[in-house]
Structure 1
Amino acid sequence: MANAAAICYRGAMKRRALLIFAALSLIAASARAQLTAADVTAIINQAVLRAVVNSPNSVIAVVDREGYVLGVWVVRGGPATPGEIATAVSKAGTAAFLSSNQNAFSSRTAGYIIQQHFPVGVKNTAPGPLVGVGLSNLFVSDVNHFKKVDLIPCPFPPPTPAPPSPGTFGSTIAFTSLDGSPGGVPLYKNGQLVGGIGVVGDGTPQPPIPFLPVPPFPPFAPCIFASLPTPGVNAREENPFVYIAGSDPDEDVALAGQQGFAPASSITADNVFVGGIRLPYAGAITAPKPPKKKKKKGPPPPPPMVTGNPDPGFPIVSSPPPFPYPIATFGGVDGEIRQPIISDPLTAPINGQPRLTAAEVASIIDFAAQRVKITRAAIRLPIGSQMQAFITVVNNPDADNVAPTVLGAFRTGEATLFSWDVAVQKGRTAVFYTRHDFLGFGLNVAMSTRAVGFLAQKNYPPGIDGNSSGPFFTEQDKLSGFSGVEPDLTFTATFDPSSPPLRTGIRADLPNGITIFPGGIPLYRNGVLVGAIGISGDGVDQDDIVAASGTHDFLAPDPIRADQFSFRSTRLPYVKFPRDPTL
């Protein structure tokens, strides 16, 4: 009895300690650095003073770390076009979502790592490590997207009774996504990431993305779309998939706005090496245009003044209070439960096998988090830091036109926010391509996102110029609401608004699109596909090793793994781990 009492006491004390820790963590979250309306005003004013000299057509957007738009300023005056809003917000959001307290990435950084060659412009090299990431965090996403500070949950009806994602609480902004054009840089306060600033206007000329709606085109509820282009108006003013080297006026204006809110120089992207290649952060600063000399002597010209006005739909506001995500510990790693851990809401067995339970989902997350704890980061500074990641699990709906339900999303530490949507994309991509025999193998092969991406490049096998395209090439853009001949050429925005929640107008199976880089692996029970794990937050090899660790009790049978098959005489990959990954 004494032993039992002692055990009960220790258990009670442990639970109390966990509750105290959770409370303290929530207090810390509510006290974290955030942008105030005064901060946003100061940032925009600094950017405008630069813009009136070098880029008077600028439209400037500021977002917070969670992707809420805190203001859009039109330097020339009047309202901004929907395409300008989408472009400026996408650039700002990209810088905020790709950065953390340990790495500061810009939209230029994003553009460098998504090209068909890495390093950019070097022939016969494989694509960038995050090729295709520009088609994530889409405005159509049911997981996370850039949004207005109205906190209205967008009505993305789930296919099953899963709770809606807090990342969608706010009116979405049409045709936003991650962006690889220069002009987006992150914002920091006291060493903490608080958001990003994005600029579009007089930057390096490049083709816009026209909007070609699929008829019929009915009006939208304003709670869904904060801005929406009409036929004949550009969806984006710049192509976000084209890499631009050298200085850029948009980036100049953004950097001016960043003054006083800049990251430490020790964590900017140009301190990060991926595969031995230094990443870019910002191009050379363009000197202000000198004033014209007057023939007659007189007083000096007045200094530039703030001109323009806020866009009517996006007045300057403070960042909203942080959402109270539950605090938890998995695998010895503290973090946030971004989407609740639940059992598969579908009850019918899959080929006689039971579906995933909440306890099993928690176990999968725990195994993955254990690996996060001991894995060296590829992008975080200083070198030798622990990686951070989003760990997500999705179900297998075992039916067409039904989206895999998110059974749990855990954010370790302060993992990058773009990774939330991408991690779910990876899980859903693995389920989708595993469920279908698109390659004609005669059976459903266990397809990781590394395998899918290998088959989705401009050249197959990747890295050999002149080869024909892979069988999945251009599928990602077709499943995202953007359609293009190639990821780095002309795009159009083809959006069918007539069939919500089919926001892309393509497939209900993939409500937030797909991804084509590593970190997603299918989960099996006794040879039957029951779901998938998706990991995002660091280098792709780091994501892969964490995902593989999560499959500990749900491994795919060896004979049906993608790496047991060849396509066009080339063996497919399944997973790949970093060399010497452990801290």
Structure 2
Amino acid sequence: MQTRSSLFRSTAFAALGALLLASCGGGGGGSGGTPTPSPAPTPTPAPTGGLYTPPAAASLSVAEVQQILANAIAEAQARSLPSMIAVTDRVGNVLAVFRMNGARATATTSAAPNGASIDAQNVTFPAEAGAIAKAITGAYLSSGGNAFSTRTASQIVQEHFPPAPTTVGLESGPLFGVQFSQLPCSDFASRFGAAGAAALIGPKRSPLGLAADPGGLPLYKNGVLVGGIGVMGDGDYGSDPNILDIDNDAEELIALAGTRGFEAPASITADKITVDGTSLRFSDATYAGLMTGGGASFASLNGSAGSLIAVTGYANAAVIAGTAYGSEASGVRPSMPSEFSNRDAFVLTNGSGANRFPIRSGTDGASNSAPLTAAEVRALLEEAFGVMSRARAQIRRPLDSRAQVTISIVDTHGEILGIVRSPDAPIFGADVSLQKARTATFFSAAQAGAELSANASADVRQFVPALRSFLNDPSALTGKVAFADRSGGNLSRPYFPDGEVGRPHGPLSRPIAQFNPFSTGLQSALIIGNLGQHLAYVSGASATDTPQRCTTLPDVAPGHNRLQNGIQIFPGSVPIYRGNRLVGGIGVSGDGIDQDDMISFLGAHNGGARTGGIGNAPGELRADRIVVRLQDGATVRLRYISCPFAPFLDTAQQNVCDGL
């Protein structure tokens, strides 16, 4: 067994930890003429009187958490794989962590393909952190319309989609980069240990972001999502590089045993959902493959098979009950009429009734002569919400369900000006929508190159000249170009163009010989110091946790930088302009990436049409005007956004973003 002093032997990781620290359907234009909002929806009322039916109030009791643990423990015993087992509720509260006798104390992330491990590659960390991350992933990626697992996550974050030896040459996964969300340094995420009413509000952070290692599954109660279970037993925290075979994964089987009586509805598991014609994967484990029949007794196993443990920053050594999602105590609740007139709108709350992110005007008046007004922020949020409510979902079942997402607005400082979400949007999209809004705004800003060049990490700094050389533009990242997240994502793939083997890597990515899901490039380089500091804190090697602010970018205001929860590199955001002046950004997450793109783009357009003066970037500024010439003379145009062909439930309108 490793000692705590040997947990962080990766020299690169330790060194960084020491820092402490598409154009849409062919549409171009956008600056001429008077914009016209897209048609209003023709709703089919839900039982609540709105378009959506909120999830029923449900949560796990102490006895139910104990039953979940007992069934998983019994399966682990039958397989002779003593494990760490974690259970969370839907908003990420850790309800229990159980360490079985003989369980490995640590786990290790996958090494770099070329053996030169950097970032979070080949890093050893406390095994309980892996179990918690897996449980949070199962809970956060799922909803009442889709049940996703860590195996699903593995499929959608790798360099080719779907990942397999025969799919080399295909584009990267649709949620490439989502693993670096829900970060322990995020200024958005709640933390364990808060007093009073804030104690159980979510969304809570994850010690490792989202997991792609099989062994994390969602938990449902009478068809209602109530949490997740995560198992860490074999010491290998990686991903599945070959979707074509069926794995006999003991961790996944143990997690499946824990879901007995709390299974995901079969009609919404990931294997019933397709993306670009490819069925997603939910689990290679089946009940027929289990070695136990359920009904294990927690009372007989607790103390004999192992014990409940405390995890610094996450849990006490006890079993607690979950909170019912949608309640004030959960941190996510229906909005009040004074917050949003749309009765389908949900907000994030502090546990005592106050909206954590109420609509407000921009805070950036010192550097922006025309900040977003509160009325404009409201218009952007409400119009984007209206587009969402008309849109056909990509990842939800039954077919023709309405899309459900979280929408975030920020100013040019990255300050949150408002967040709204639909009733059953997956939780992961809250943090990710904010990452997306901040990323699009940051890379479109005049200060982007200078602030990256002033970062404490030489690794981060080198991405600026790499990008300028790649684009053959020494003035790149100085505000001349409007970057949507799809544009930055093009530049953040280990092949450019995406998926084309033999091509160079994008300038914001690691080379393919260096790349794996634990080292994506600028995205991972920006936060690796925070991650190292946090895992040292969880292990007990350090008394100091990472601050509630990711990256070591310079402050733009006292105690605040522009990327406080990291960046995101898959589509779903656009910057917002007042004429030619950048004033903020909108980020959307929770459904298919084209749906997210459309909601952000049309939300910005319709918000501008409603208020006048703001909207999408003028066409001549958008990143899809950039053409990259490759070494063999081939040319590749960057993308700005990509909208679904005929996305709405209330009209057969096609190419809805054309010409805007």
Which of the five TM-score ranges fits, normalised by the shorter chain?
Answer: 0.7 to 0.9
Q: Distance in 1 between matches of 2:395 and 2:434?
A: 21
Matched residue, 2:488: 452
Matched residue, 1:472: 508
Q: Could you tell me how far 1:143 is from its partner in structure 2? A: 1.2
Matched residue, 2:625: 564
Q: Is the 8 A contact 1:457 1:472 kept in 2?
A: yes
Letter matched to residue 387 of structure 1: A
* TM-score calculated relative to the size of structure 1: 0.76
The answer to whether the aligner puts 1:319 opposite 2:363 as a matched pair is no
Q: Is the 8 A contact 1:420 1:536 kept in 2?
A: yes
Q: Is the 8 A contact 2:364 2:412 kept in 1?
A: no
Matched residue, 1:217: none
Query: For each residue in 1:390-418, what CA deviation from the matched residue of structure 2 results, as whole angstroms up to 9, or x when unmatched?
Result: 01100102xxxxxx111111011210000
Q: Distance in 1 between matches of 2:524 and 2:147?
A: 27
Matched residue, 1:126: 171
Q: 1:461 aligns with which of 481, 491, 497?
A: 497
Cα pair distance change 1:78/1:459, threshold 3 Å: closer
SS at match of 2:75: helix
Q: 1:538 aligns with which of 572, 588, 591?
A: 591
Letter matched to residue 421 of structure 1: D
Q: Could you tell me how far 1:579 is from its partner in structure 2? A: 1.8
Q: Which has the higher contact order (CA 8 A, sep 6+)?
A: 2
Q: Is the 8 A contact 2:72 2:255 kept in 1?
A: yes
Q: Distance in 1 between matches of 2:549 and 2:420?
A: 26
Could you list the runs of 5+ residues in structure 1 that have no partner in the other structure? 1-20, 156-164, 207-237, 291-303, 398-403, 485-494
Matched residue, 1:39: 64
Matched residue, 2:390: 374
Q: 1:386 aligns with which of 402, 421, 428?
A: 402
Q: Could you tell me how far 1:580 is from its partner in structure 2? A: 1.3
Query: For each residue in 1:412-437, what CA deviation from the matched residue of structure 2 results, as whole angstroms up to 9, or x when unmatched?
Result: 12100000000000001011111135
Matched residue, 2:39: none
* Count of residue pairs the alignment pairs up: 484
Q: Is the 8 A contact 2:530 2:546 kept in 1?
A: no
Q: Could you tell me how far 1:567 is from its partner in structure 2? A: 2.5
1:2-13 equivalence runs, <5 A: none
The answer to whether the aligner puts 1:523 opposite 2:576 as a matched pair is yes
Q: Could you tell me how far 1:319 is from its partner in structure 2? A: 1.5
Q: Distance in 1 between matches of 2:334 and 2:220?
A: 25
Q: 1:92 aligns with which of 128, 135, 138?
A: 135
Matched residue, 1:193: 225
Q: 1:308 aligns with which of 284, 306, 309?
A: 306
More displaced 10-residue stretch of structure 1: 437-446 or 523-532:
437-446
* TM-score calculated relative to the size of structure 2: 0.68
The answer to whether the aligner puts 1:413 opposite 2:411 as a matched pair is no
Name the Cα RMSD after superposition: 3.2
Q: Distance in 2 between matches of 1:79 and 1:247?
A: 20
1:175-574 equivalence runs, <5 A: 175-202=207-234, 206=236, 238-239=237-238, 246-285=247-286, 287=289, 306=301, 307-312=305-310, 313-320=316-323, 321-323=329-331, 325=333, 327=335, 334-338=344-348, 339-344=356-361, 346=363, 348=365, 350=367, 352=369, 354-397=370-413, 404-435=414-445, 436=448, 438=464, 439-440=467-468, 441=473, 442=475, 444=479, 445-473=481-509, 474-481=521-528, 500-505=547-552, 508-552=561-605, 553=608, 554-568=615-629, 569-574=635-640
Q: Is the 8 A contact 1:114 1:130 kept in 2?
A: yes
More displaced 10-residue stretch of structure 1: 38-47 or 331-340:
331-340
Could you tell me the percent identity over the aligned residues?
37
Query: For each residue in 1:521-553, what CA deviation from the matched residue of structure 2 results, as whole angstroms up to 9, or x when unmatched?
Result: 000012110100000010000000000011111
Query: For each residue in 1:67-118, what CA deviation from the matched residue of structure 2 results, as whole angstroms up to 9, or x when unmatched?
Result: 0000001121699566211100000000000000111111100110111001
Q: Distance in 1 between matches of 2:569 and 2:387?
A: 23
Q: Distance in 2 between matches of 1:78 and 1:315?
A: 18
Q: Distance in 1 between matches of 2:381 and 2:160?
A: 34
SS at match of 1:334: coil
Query: For each residue in 1:237-270, what CA deviation from the matched residue of structure 2 results, as whole angstroms up to 9, or x when unmatched?
Result: x136867761210000000000000011111000
Matched residue, 1:5: none
Cα pair distance change 1:506/1:382, threshold 3 Å: same
Q: Is the 8 A contact 1:427 1:534 kept in 2?
A: yes
Cα pair distance change 1:319/1:446, threshold 3 Å: same
Letter matched to residue 476 of structure 1: Q
Q: Is the 8 A contact 2:332 2:346 kept in 1?
A: no
Q: Could you tell me how far 1:482 is from its partner in structure 2? A: 6.9
Q: Could you tell me how far 1:333 is from its partner in structure 2? A: 6.4
Cα pair distance change 1:350/1:105, threshold 3 Å: same
SS at match of 2:378: helix
Letter matched to residue 275 of structure 1: D
Query: For each residue in 1:336-380, what CA deviation from the matched residue of structure 2 results, as whole angstroms up to 9, or x when unmatched?
Result: 12243332352625453x211221111001111111111100010
Q: Distance in 2 between matches of 1:40 and 1:166?
A: 19
SS at match of 2:591: coil
Letter matched to residue 362 of structure 1: R
Q: Distance in 1 between matches of 2:93 and 2:424?
A: 17
More displaced 10-residue stretch of structure 1: 104-113 or 338-347:
338-347
Cα pair distance change 1:456/1:533, threshold 3 Å: same
Query: For each residue in 1:461-498, what CA deviation from the matched residue of structure 2 results, as whole angstroms up to 9, or x when unmatched?
Result: 112001111011111111222799xxxxxxxxxx9969
Q: Could you tell me how far 1:272 is from its partner in structure 2? A: 0.3
Q: Distance in 2 between matches of 1:61 and 1:374?
A: 38
Could you list the runs of 5+ residues in structure 2 that have no partner in the other structure? 1-47, 107-124, 293-298, 311-315, 324-328, 349-355, 450-463, 510-520, 532-541, 555-560, 609-614, 630-634, 650-660
